[in-house]
Homo-oligomer: A and B are copies of this chain.
Amino acid sequence: MGHSVSDDPEATGMDIETHHSQRHADNIPPVHKVRLPPRQNLVKEIAARAKETFFSDDPFRPFKDQTKSRKLLLGAQALFPILEWGRHYNLKKLKGDVISGLTIASLCIPQDIGYAKLANLPPQYGLYSSFVPPLVYAFMGSSRDIAIGPVAVVSLLLGTLLQGEIDSVTHPQEYLRLAFTATFFAGVTQAALGFLRLGFLIDFLSHAAIVGFMGGAAITIALQQLKGFLGIKHFTKKTDIISVMQSVWGTVNDEWNWQTILIGAVFLAFLLFAKYIGKKKKKLFWVAAIAPLISVVVSTFFVYITRADKHGVQIVKHIKKGINPPSVDQIYFSGDFLGKGIRIGVVAGMIALTEAAAIGRTFAAMKDYHLDGNKEMVALGVMNIAGSMTSCYVATGSFSRSAVNYMAGCQTAVSNIVMSGVVFLTLELITPLFKYTPNAILSSIIISAVIGLIDYEAALLIWKIDKFDFVACMGAFFGVVFASVEIGLLIAVSISFAKILLQVTRPRTALLGNLPHTSIYRNIEQYPDARKVPGVLVVRVDSAIYFSNCNYVRERILRWLEDEEEQLKVEGQARIQYLIVEMSPVTDIDTGGIHALEELFKSLQKREIQLVFANPGQVVIDKLYASKLVDLIGQDWIFLTVADAVKTCSPKAAGSLPEV
């Protein structure tokens, strides 16, 4: 309050004033005016906007000014990045890729078998999905670190959604066909999103929502493993924690099998210990990576020699030998199941995309190479379409395997080819050896794998940074755990949207004050030493002014004014004569906003207060002119900075301030 430069030596002010006049004498304009941007024509404007929305990465830039044959080559390279990076491939890179490929293969084989069970599919389908999709991806994808295959969350989601339509036990054939149909349309969805440059749609699932969703899915998956881990035969088909717990405790006397539990517990302890070692010493990451395969080998051998399966320890029993049979004729292209397949495919495809995009982005940022999101989607889409025709279900990038891939020193997507090769050999040669693998081991492997998805540190950070995000995170988490994967997903998306809308509806506003000895105006809440200018109220609106918030903004500004006037009356100070709206953060305005400003102007006019705008941006000034609001308010009341505005409104207060 009060005169804002009371403790500023008068000399300083004078000095500046002198300087100001001197500048004037040099014929340099002292005050810059808000400039109208150069007029663009409409088509150009819309084209620029559309380009920024859909082609923000300017994918056609390399094609400019090239010969036809060169364009063809570039086009082929764009579709198959392997043509580009393959030319620089060398033995050193191959070494890294082979080592990492073998490592992720050892990790993926036992995981695949378990994940297939999550999707209510026979075990070989998990292996099929680790054979064809990684091959396709290696040719079309541009991430160097992602490891492709079936993943826990998508398997669970797909299993839940499919089971909701058709029972996997009574109708295994139809169930399988629906799974292929869903996979086909998941691929179509992914490829279409990429091709139509709509990749940004997956950004609408916020980071916080993903953290919560993944954590909830991990808990749900781990709970599902209690079936295999405890040896229960009659288990609920539902996934919520209450149903599962009822299943578990209801069978404690009848079905729990101590031999199963013992095997499972021992190997779970081993796996967790290996994981701990891998985390403690980054160099020993391979211990954690090969522990699952070791567990499978040891436990299978153990069951084989003790014939524990005769004592109630459930085993895998049978995995079909040989590589993927074709399944084009299995996909439903008509009938009732077509619609269901599309619906399930779209949901599963989007979630798979979200996971792959998050992984791709993370590793691209770590190694600082560029990843074209839309191109990635096309690659993933084509991969799943090809998969659906070769008996695979939805594959995507796996968090855990990609991390191992990265740490094992992968250089290019060739590591996926190596892994695919190992899976091929497994399918052709050694599937019969899995006969005696106990289900409890697969459960232990899945439990130890999904535990990594529970990112409580991220949740804690979210709590610290943004409470609303935390609500979204917890909403997704509890939605998945207590209801179902779909409900959790729905909650996550709804809260994310609600947040955007809420922020757009109730933007922040702030009273600004002058920072002593400067011509800078800042929020007086953030800078308590900022001082108000007598007779002038400076308000900043912290958002674009749209139909959804324009009435709020108008009312809020008037409320700032009324509060201030009340206080001034109590203090017996001079009344407000100018209301300066600092528009720097107002990035856009629509017709509703223009109307609100017009109404604000009229309300102020009735109170004999002049409305003043400071620093309206390019878009805003354009619209102020287009709507003739400038003529109403007066061109002279629009300033480049708050300081300029104050100088005109309250020369006495501003005169002794330093020059801008």
A42 at interface by CB-CB < 8 Å: yes
Quick one: which of B209, B528, B591 contacts A38, CB cutoff 8 A? B528
The answer to whether A599 and B548 touch (CB under 8 A), given A518-B32, A591-B461, is no
A28 at interface by CB-CB < 8 Å: yes
Identical chains bound together, number: 2
Q: Is the CB of A547 within 8 A of B508?
A: no
A658 at interface by CB-CB < 8 Å: yes
A221 at interface by CB-CB < 8 Å: no
Report Cα–Cα, A555/B621, bound state, in Å. Answer: 27
The segment out of A199-207, A328-336, A381-389 that lies at the interface is: A199-207
Q: Give the shortest distance, in Å, between A527 (CB) and chain B (any CB).
A: 5
Q: Give the shortest distance, in Å, between A598 (CB) and chain B (any CB).
A: 9
The answer to whether A506 and B555 touch (CB under 8 A), given A32-B515, A467-B42, is no
Q: Is the CB of A590 within 8 A of B32?
A: no
Quick one: which of B52, B58, B209, B641 contacts A506, CB cutoff 8 A? B52
Q: Is the CB of A527 within 8 A of B28?
A: no
Q: Is the CB of A623 within 8 A of B465?
A: yes
Q: Is the CB of A12 within 8 A of B26?
A: yes
When distances are taken between beta carbons in the complex, the residues of chain B under 8 Å from A465 are 590-591, 594, 623, 626-627
Report Cα–Cα, A88/B183, bound state, in Å. Answer: 73
Q: Is the CB of A46 within 8 A of B627?
A: no
Flag A575-589 by CB within 8 Å of B: 1 or 0 each: 000000000110110
- For chain A, the bracket of interface size reads 35 or more
Report Cα–Cα, A45/B585, bound state, in Å. Answer: 22
Report Cα–Cα, A52/B553, bound state, in Å. Answer: 11
Q: Is the CB of B641 within 8 A of A520?
A: yes
Quick one: which of B57, B58, B547 contacts A203, CB cutoff 8 A? B547
A16 at interface by CB-CB < 8 Å: yes
Flag A16-33 by CB within 8 Å of B: 1 or 0 each: 100100110010100010
A325 at interface by CB-CB < 8 Å: no
When distances are taken between beta carbons in the complex, the residues of chain B under 8 Å from A504 are 500, 504
Q: Give the shortest distance, in Å, between A63 (CB) and chain B (any CB).
A: 16
A466 at interface by CB-CB < 8 Å: yes
A546 at interface by CB-CB < 8 Å: yes
A602 at interface by CB-CB < 8 Å: yes
A379 at interface by CB-CB < 8 Å: no
A462 at interface by CB-CB < 8 Å: yes
Flag A442-474 by CB within 8 Å of B: 1 or 0 each: 000000000000000000011011111100000
The answer to whether A517 and B28 touch (CB under 8 A), given A35-B527, A526-B37, is yes
Q: Which residue of B lies closest to A623 (CB)?
A: B465
Report Cα–Cα, A543/B500, bound state, in Å. Answer: 12
A398 at interface by CB-CB < 8 Å: no
Q: Is the CB of A19 within 8 A of B15?
A: yes
Report Cα–Cα, A464/B56, bound state, in Å. Answer: 26
Restricting to A551-591, which residues have a CB under 8 Å from any CB of B?
Answer: 551-552, 555-556, 559, 584-585, 587-588, 590-591
Report Cα–Cα, A273/B609, bound state, in Å. Answer: 41
Quick one: which of B200, B588, B603 contacts A365, CB cutoff 8 A? B603
Report Cα–Cα, A552/B357, bound state, in Å. Answer: 13
Q: Give the shortest distance, in Å, between A44 (CB) and chain B (any CB).
A: 12
Q: Is the CB of B46 within 8 A of A590?
A: no
Report Cα–Cα, A504/B203, bound state, in Å. Answer: 11
Q: Give the shortest distance, in Å, between A357 (CB) and chain B (any CB).
A: 9
The answer to whether A555 and B57 touch (CB under 8 A), given A507-B587, A508-B619, is yes
Report Cα–Cα, A9/B502, bound state, in Å. Answer: 51
Q: Which residue of B lies closest to A16 (CB)?
A: B19
When distances are taken between beta carbons in the complex, the residues of chain B under 8 Å from A627 are 461, 464-465
When distances are taken between beta carbons in the complex, the residues of chain B under 8 Å from A591 are 206-208, 461-462, 465-466, 469
Q: Is the CB of B502 within 8 A of A500?
A: no
Restricting to A501-528, which residues have a CB under 8 Å from any CB of B?
Answer: 501-508, 510, 515, 517-520, 522-523, 525-528
The answer to whether A22 and B15 touch (CB under 8 A), given A466-B623, A548-B500, is yes
Q: Which of A45, A556, A585 has the most CB of B within 10 A?
A: A585
Report Cα–Cα, A206/B98, bound state, in Å. Answer: 58
Report Cα–Cα, A658/B504, bound state, in Å. Answer: 38
Report Cα–Cα, A544/B587, bound state, in Å. Answer: 10
Restricting to A226-271, which residues have a CB under 8 Å from any CB of B?
Answer: none
Quick one: which of B206, B368, B543 contacts A603, CB cutoff 8 A? B368
Q: Which of A9, A58, A590 has the most CB of B within 10 A?
A: A590
Q: Which residue of B lies closest to A583 (CB)?
A: B585
Q: Is the CB of A503 within 8 A of B588?
A: yes
Q: Which residue of B lies closest to A552 (CB)?
A: B56
When distances are taken between beta carbons in the complex, the residues of chain B under 8 Å from A546 are 206, 499-500, 503
Q: Give the shortest distance, in Å, between A28 (CB) and chain B (any CB).
A: 5
Report Cα–Cα, A612/B395, bound state, in Å. Answer: 41
Report Cα–Cα, A526/B58, bound state, in Å. Answer: 23
A542 at interface by CB-CB < 8 Å: yes
A606 at interface by CB-CB < 8 Å: yes
Report Cα–Cα, A584/B521, bound state, in Å. Answer: 12
When distances are taken between beta carbons in the complex, the residues of chain B under 8 Å from A507 are 587
When distances are taken between beta carbons in the complex, the residues of chain B under 8 Å from A550 are 203
Report Cα–Cα, A621/B519, bound state, in Å. Answer: 22
When distances are taken between beta carbons in the complex, the residues of chain B under 8 Å from A508 are 587-588, 619
> 5 shortest A-B CB distances, which residue pairs?
A206-B547, A542-B587, A585-B585, A207-B592, A526-B618
Cross-chain pairs A/B with CB under 8 angstroms, 29 sampled: A15-B19, A28-B517, A35-B528, A37-B523, A46-B467, A56-B555, A57-B559, A203-B551, A203-B552, A204-B547, A207-B547, A208-B547, A465-B590, A465-B627, A466-B590, A469-B591, A496-B548, A500-B501, A503-B546, A522-B640, A526-B617, A526-B621, A542-B587, A543-B544, A543-B587, A584-B585, A585-B585, A658-B659, A658-B660
